[in-house]
Structure 1
Amino acid sequence: MSLHFGSLFWPNSYREPVNYPELSGRLSKSVVVIGGGVSGIICGFELSSSGIDTVLIEQQRIGTGSTSANTGLLQYSNDKMLSELIRTIGETDAALFYRACKHASEKLCDIAESLPRGTEFKRRSSLYYASSPRDKATLRKEYNTLVKHGFAADWWEEEQIAEHFSFRRSAAIVTRGDAEVNPYLFVHAMAEEAVKRGLEIYEGTKMLRVEPNGDGYTIFTSAGRIEAEHVVYAVGYTPEAAGGRWPKTKLHRSYAIVTDPLPSLAEWHERFLLWETARPYLYLRTTNDNRIIIGGLDENLRQPVSSKQELRAHSMRLLAELRRLFPAYSPEIRYEWNATFGESADGLPWIGEDPDRPGQHYCLGYGGNGTIYSCLAAEIIRDRILGIPNAVAPIVKPDRAVAAE
């Protein structure tokens, strides 16, 4: 099943990535990570950095699945606001989860800055604005909740927004400590560094089945097999590949466009990351060469569109939204795509050991913060393997009580 359709932007930034061999024969490791996208690579990076003997297999090439369609925003705020999450899971757990996301964002920023290969990483602030005046009260409640729990945030009224941008909205929250990155470069740079730390990577190696073998598992692949104590499923938006009965995912599709470079982005204050209170929401960012990326228009359909005509109709809607926000710009579409994404009924990712299958772990960072969730997953799975308690693990565990909506 295809995960995206259209012309992708990021792969053009690294046309000759490092190639990894196909697995043949037998291999014995402590952990096998299945999936070479952002989730799998972050997990492989974390495990190998912790001294855990790990191998990663990818059925195609590193970063060619959903990672190529990722728009590269690193934000700790969730699709479900902290004030909303409190109503779902309680104040203590919700605040703990948000702090964990903030920690994950900071960790990813530190990793990106430490990698020898450039990843077009930039630290940014985010402007979360009210889509309509009736959202102002909800947004104010969220601001008060963030401040109450120690998150640095500023409240902007309409006039302050208009002073910094070419559009007006009734109110907005400004949060600090977010970032943007080229996800394709980031994944490849992390993979190269993880190999230096002991991770083995095999491309063109498809997982066929996993069978118990006493103290662990045998993973049968397209041209070999792996004996391992632990299996990590970082299989992106193909949850059926992970098996098990716990993840109850909702798969949708979303759209994005990237413009040609613009002469100037002077009206875009500090290159803030932009998003809104409406659901589904629009989100926008810039690139280091003065392009604009805008995404949204989510639909409750799993399969991406299959025609250029249908894709272009949605792309033009995104372009119209961009021009409404920044009427002084004259952007033209250069890249456009539609891609599958997933979420859960409670807005939280599926992370941790399957209670029915000890030693098999989910690394399914579903939601708008997928890269952040992947970092959380890597730490939770690492701690489980090493026997270290992790306070966030019970919040996102696969068998938590959640309705399959």
Structure 2
Amino acid sequence: MKAVSVDLILTDNIALSSNAKMGKNGSLFFVDIFYCRRFILTVRGESMEQLIWKDRKKLPDFPAAEGEYKTDVLIIGGGICGILCAYFLSWAGVDYMLAEAGKIGQGISGLSSGMITVQHGLIYDKMLKELGREKAQLYYRANQQALERYISLCRNLDCGFEQKTGYVYSRTDRSAIEKEVRAVRILGGTAEFSERHSLPFGIAGAVKTLGQVQLDPERLIGCLAPGLNIYEHTRIEKIEKGQAFFKKGKITAEKVIAAVHAPEFTGWAGRMKLYRRQVDSVVLDSCAPMDGIYCDAARAGLAMRNCGSGILVSGNGRGGKTQFLSAVSECWPQAKVLQYWSGQEYMSFDGIPCVGPCRGRHGKLYVAYGWNRWGMTNAMAAAMLLRDLVLERENEYADLYLPQRSIGKRQLVVHGWSALSHWFLPGSKNHFQKKH
């Protein structure tokens, strides 16, 4: 088996193409590889499977759609949110089908670090000031219920489920940590101030939250998907008046859930409420294990968790790959980088995802996007809300997540340019790379 080092350009589309060409010098390059997380390289007749952060069982295969279909609910997207929606609707006895453009679990969900927590950075002190106690309390409660649902769902599944203490730390700002602890307690949480940690550097303090979760997102999808009504390699190209069109047919549905990474079916109104950030990740070997899941309160800081015998470290900032790897090397100078990858995350202006009905010509279309770095927790909260909306049940969180909600002037000023530059200027490239 021949070892090679490859960079792949990934775009914001969610599809997979195997269109590869061999260059004159024997190098292999790809055309139209979209958010593909597992792929096969063929070099001079030899193949090698590339994997992200640890070996996993093969996900089940599902057929491609062909012809005309009719269903009560069409779910677009086979990431964790779409799979959870399908799982909940299946248990509710709803007639549904899920269409995934590539393979399930191979998009941004497969790139996730799998950390599930109610403490999404230093968010609650900010929410209390900007959104008020009622909305802040609703957001906290929605994510607490999402966490509890993961625990009940995953406890007995083979998905790498572990309960861990969560820490949001600051290297310099003790006051910000203390304010966040007070805010969480005002909202009914049980956060604590802590100075004890297993980080390779000093901190001013951390928000400590017991009973959080880490797991392997792809393995979870592999546990939930068997038995669900899923069609792979079925890219929905457009939706018009309850009809979704793909290359070899169409699907007529009373309701449509678009659980995709980017707001593909919302038009400019939905897109202009988001901005984008690059997320870089590595798996490190030869370093001390973590005693919990950690996230830096600073926007460009590091988040980390155990990953097999090593640790998984991710960073969210503007410095790109070079700055990220430099920060990792500074913290763990003796560690070996086993794998590196990067992707894009979409952030909402007010820190709350957009989940719910979308106005327009599409009929009854529901959307879910803008995970704000915490896609696993927010995906569960979104799936439970979407289930209730589809079943026409009351849900206390519907107005909080409403995609058409108004955005404050401050958030618009702070993040508006980022949104404009993403949608109107050439986008940055995503790269996936593995070292051998």
- Say if 2:136 is the partner of 1:106: no
> Does the CA contact (< 8 Å) of 1:13 and 1:185 recur in 2?
no
Q: 2:357 aligns with which of 345, 353, 356?
A: 353
Structure 1 segment 128-207 matched on structure 2, within 5 A? 128-132=168-172, 135-157=173-195, 160-161=196-197, 167-192=201-226, 195=227, 199-207=228-236
Amino acid at match of 1:334: L
Structure 1 counterpart of 2:89: 47
Q: Which moved more, 1:358-367 or 1:332-341?
A: 358-367
Question: Could you tell me which residue of structure 1 aligns to residue 402 of structure 2?
Answer: 397
Q: Encode CA deviations 1:197-252: one digit per residue, 9 max, x unaligned.
A: xx31000111021121xxxx11111222111111111111x323454623421012
Matched, 1:273 2:285: no
Q: Which amino acid aligns with 2:269?
A: R
**1:12 CA drift (Å):** 5.3
Cα distance, 1:398 vs. partner? 0.7
Is residue 7 of structure 2 the alignment partner of residue 2 of structure 1? no
Contact 1:39–1:364 (CA under 8 A) maintained in structure 2: no
The answer to whether structure 1 residue 38 and structure 2 residue 67 are counterparts is no
Give CA-to-partner distance per residue, 1:239-271, whole Å, 9 cap, x none.
234546234210121111001365x63xx3xx2
Q: Specify the alignment match of 2:124 in structure 1.
A: 82
TM-score (norm 1): 0.84
Deviations, residues 2-44 of structure 1 (Å, cap 9, x unaligned): 2569997547523532110001112111100111111211221
By how many angstroms is 1:46 displaced?
1.7
What CA deviation, in whole Å up to 9, does each residue of 1:272-305 have, x standing for no partner? 1111221222101002x221111114229xxxx8
- Contact 1:32–1:54 at 8 Å: present in 2 too? yes
What TM-score comes out, normalization by structure 2 length?
Answer: 0.78
Question: Structure 1 residue 369 and structure 2 residue 405: aligned?
Answer: no
What is the letter of the counterpart of residue 272 of structure 1?
G
**1:244 and 1:385, CA in 2 relative to 1: closer, same or farther beyond 3 A?**
farther
Contact 1:297 1:314 in 2 (8 A): no
Residue 367 of structure 1 aligns to a residue whose secondary structure is coil
Q: CA deviation at 1:340?
A: 0.8
Deviations 1:116-163 (A, max 9, x none): xx111111111221221xx21121011011122221222224xx44xx
Q: Among residues 386, 390, 400, which one is paired with 2:391 in the alignment?
A: 386
Going from structure 1 to structure 2, the CA distance change for 1:315 and 1:5 (only over 3 Å counts) comes to farther
Q: Equivalent residue of 1:250, what SS?
A: strand
Contact map agreement 2:57 2:219 (CA 8 A) in 1: no
Q: Is the 8 A contact 1:76 1:369 kept in 2?
A: no
Q: Distance in 2 between matches of 1:261 and 1:18?
A: 33
Q: Kindly state the Cα deviation for residue 61 of structure 1 after the two structures are TM-superposed.
A: 0.6
Check whether the contact 1:58–1:203 (CA below 8 A) recurs between aligned residues: yes
Inter-partner Cα distance in structure 2 for 1:294 and 1:5: 20
Q: How does 1:168-247 map to 2 (within 5 A)?
A: 168-192=202-226, 195=227, 199-212=228-241, 217-236=242-261, 238-243=262-267, 245-247=269-271
Q: Whole-Å Cα distance in 2 between the matches of residues 276 and 96 of structure 1? A: 24
Aligned to 2:326: 317
SS at structure 2 position matched to 1:376: helix
Amino acid of the residue matched to residue 362 of structure 1? V
Instruction: Find the aligned partners of 2:374 and 2:393 in 1 and give their Cα distance.
Output: 25
Aligned length: 366
Q: Percent identity?
A: 24
Give 1:127's match in structure 2, choosing from 167, 170, 174: 167
- 1:315 positional shift: 5.3
In structure 2, distance between residues paired with 1:15 and 1:296: 27
Letter in 2 for 1:88: E
Residues 1:240 and 1:80: Cα distance change in structure 2 (over 3 Å): farther
SS in 1 for 2:269: coil
Mean Cα displacement is larger for which, 98-107 or 15-24? 15-24
* Residues 64, 231 of structure 2: 8 Å contact kept: yes
* Contact 1:147 1:153 survives alignment (8 Å): yes
Is residue 254 from structure 1 mapped to residue 274 from structure 2 by the alignment? no
Cα displacement string for residues 286-342 of structure 1 (whole angstroms, at most 9, x for unaligned residues):
02x221111114229xxxx8xxxxx4x34532432432xxx7xx3200000111111
